Amino acid sequence: MARTFLQRSDQLREAARKTHRGIFLTGPNRIELLSDDLPESSFGGRDYLLASLGNCRCASDAKAIRQFDTHARVPTGADRIALGHETLQIVLQAPAGSKVKVGDLVVITPGHASEPIDPLQFAPVSDGVLAALGYSYRFLGGLRQFNRIPAGAPDFVSSQGFGNLFNRVTPKHDISLVSLAHAEPFACNYGTNKHIFTIDQHGEFAYGVPPRAIVTYLSGTARMAMINLTIVASVADDELPKVVYVTGSKSKLDEMEKYALINDLRERGTRMVLVDRKDPAMLKKLTEYGKSDVVWTNYASQQTYDQAVSILAERGNLNSYAGAVDPELLINMPIAEAPVYSSLEEEVSQNFWAMHHNKAPNNPARYRGLAREPKVGFLGFEGREDRLQAYLEKLPVGAHVFVEDAQQLPAGLVKVEDNTLLTDVFIGGTGRQAENCYKAIEPCLARSAAVNFIDGNLTVPIRSRQAHYVSRHQICGKNVPWHMTNTSEPHSDDMIEQVNNPVSFDWMVKGVCGLSSVPQMMERVEHEQPFGSFYSFTELEDLPYLEISAEAFRKASDSKPEHVSNALTEAARELDSNGQCWSRKVEEALYQGYGLPHPLNLS
């Protein structure tokens, strides 16, 4: 069996030397099936070569598709970007001493860089991008047949806080390619839930969704919300949420009523409240059993953000899930008036303690106080020189400082250079004055920055672009009503959870296609926004886009080449035998029709 698998790898490695095809983003709202070649230098044994087995469509692709090179992860001036980050691949070539070998099946960590890099070399550069799989590379993506990765990439990705670039898959007899490709969205949700924090009664950080919490999924009928709810539900009965609110269209909520996941939660004692998003009494219904400890905004819109703010419990957590296509949308956080302190010294000490940061890139744990290498900004201190000096004197030696109307700094402090990103910001004043200070400084915030409104009494207009991904900034202080976490940048440790003990997501598969039909599939899905997962088979290139039903498969088999017709007919039989649900056996029937071994049967 091992020889057979290596023979298949040899065949694919030879094919990788030739011109092959992939799905590329070539401009705003432009997805194309194009031919491409890997650089000749890819085949000297120094780099990794991989063959893609397939890729699931992700709703977050839409943001890059619409924005193209204005997207933070797409290189400026790029002419083509290989799409796809929910992917399963075979290693065809690996450098000596690497942790993977030829023939390994792997899932790839999508998060690659937490600082700007050159996406061709995986090396930091000041004018680079926050590179990620499916958004930044020409020669690496789930929707191109063959991929090249520089030899130094695994060490670089690890140094960026994302763990292993590759995670080996140990196939089980009944798990499907599609469920394994879900390792990325599983990790995205699993990691997101780890990063969620609330403040307990002792003032300590409490991580994860609290036991017996009240939670809300706004626009929660979508695929990612259901993956997240599956993870939230995988706890003991006495730790399940007391209440789960879900909003969506009536038609999708009606469909959701039939999900085994929903019925199981109700049987286990969770109150499931499904609310029509057009119901004029929606906000009342979303607080009927109490405000939410955690709210996920699964579709970013101004209306959704405003709803989230209105239903959050005190000291809760708002998870801005997935970035908005419009990055200027606002999360309006109401900041209360600051506490009254007995002295200026107490004020400074308490406000320094209130700042908090991620311990490391993509690390869910946080520590209190200034950043370890603080670059501190002070705004709104006009006319309060004594107050400003008290804060400056509290800073550690070596701290870099930005002060409006720069003055002489105390000994040991350094004036920040132009374009320096600030790690900690203190803003004085109230109302519109403080809001304007924040608007001015927000583009200058480093990832994981801390912002403290030391007088409060304002509404902070947080731009969506600043609220995406868990290592974005936090608004800190005793007058903050709730906290923010965001979509996880998937970590390999979280992907391993799905790889080693896979959850079957076959019930979510609603459509499949071959590589050639991906543009059609993505256009249809983007237009119709149906629930479910949609998977493209890279090796079954001319498989048409199909909804998952035996009837659709049989109808599509007419007037197709013999291999396609045979594959669809046999797959239809398997769908009939399994209640029209996707399965490993349906995949095996398709591969058999194409005269190819199912990849998981070769390992």
Q: What is the pLDDT of residues 478-521, one digit of tens each?
A: 999 999 998 887 889 999 999 998 989 999 999 999 999 999 99
The reported pTM is 0.87
Would 183-322+487-502 and 328-481 be classified into the same CATH topology? yes
Q: Is the pLDDT of residue 5 over 70?
A: no
Task: Give the chain's mean pLDDT.
Answer: 93
| Count of C-beta atoms within a 10 Å radius of residue 168 | 17
* Per-residue pLDDT band at 8 (split at 50, 70, 90): confident
Strands, sheet with 30-36, edge to edge from the N-terminal-most edge strand:
30-36, 20-27, 81-82
pLDDT band at 7 (very low <50, low <70, confident <90, very high): confident
Predicted confidence (pLDDT) at residue 370 exceeds the cutoff of 70:
yes
Q: At what angle do helices 260-267 and 223-232 cross, to 10 degrees?
A: 30
Residues 58-97 pLDDT 10s: 988 888 999 999 998 999 999 999 999 999 999 999 999 9
Q: Domain residues of the chain, as ranges?
A: 1-169, 183-322+487-502, 328-481, 511-603
Spatial separation of the C-alpha atoms in residues 432 and 516, rounded to whole Å: 54
Residues linked to residue 484 through DSSP beta bridges, in sequence order: 318
Please give the pLDDT value at position 406: 61
pLDDT computed for residue 269 by the predictor: 97
Fold for domain 183-322+487-502? Rossmann fold (3.40.50)
Are 495 and 107 in contact by the 8 Å Cβ rule? The answer is yes
Rounded distance, CA 83 to CA 137, Å?
8
Among the listed residues 185, 176, 274, 186, the one whose alpha carbon sits nearest the alpha carbon of residue 234: 186
Q: Which of 20-29, 196-205, 395-404 has the lowest mean pLDDT?
A: 196-205
What pLDDT was estimated at residue 3?
A: 47
Q: How far apart are CA 545 and CA 548, in angstroms?
A: 10
Q: Which CATH class is domain 328-481?
A: alpha beta
pLDDT > 90: percent of the chain: 82
Task: Compute the distance between CA of residue 219 and CA of residue 300 in angstroms, rounded to an integer.
Answer: 9
The proportion of the chain whose per-residue pLDDT surpasses 70, expressed as a percent, equals 98
Q: Which two tokens stand for residue 252?
A: 């999708």
Residue whose C-alpha is closest to residue 465's, from 330, 305, 310: 330
Which one-letter amino acid corresponds to residue 534?
A: F
Least confident of 294-298, 524-528, 578-582: 524-528
**Mind listing the pLDDT tens digit for each residue in 148-169?**
999 999 999 999 989 999 999 9
**Structure confidence by residue, pLDDT tens digits, 106-149:** 999 998 998 899 999 999 998 899 999 999 999 999 999 999 99
Q: What is the pLDDT of residue 522?
A: 93
State residue 350's pLDDT score: 97
Angstrom distance (rounded) from CA 43 to CA 38? 9
pLDDT of residue 440 exceeding 90, the answer is yes
Phi, psi of 405 (to 5 degrees): 55, 60
Report pLDDT for 491. 87
Answer yes or no: are the C-beta atoms of 301 and 329 closer than 8 Å.
yes
CATH class of 1-169: alpha beta
What is the token pair recorded at 499?
Answer: 């790889």
Buried b (16+ CB within 10 A) or exposed e, 490-520: bbbbbbbbbbeebebbbbbbbbbbbbbbbbe
d(CA 52, CA 188): 21
Q: Is the pLDDT of residue 1 over 70?
A: no
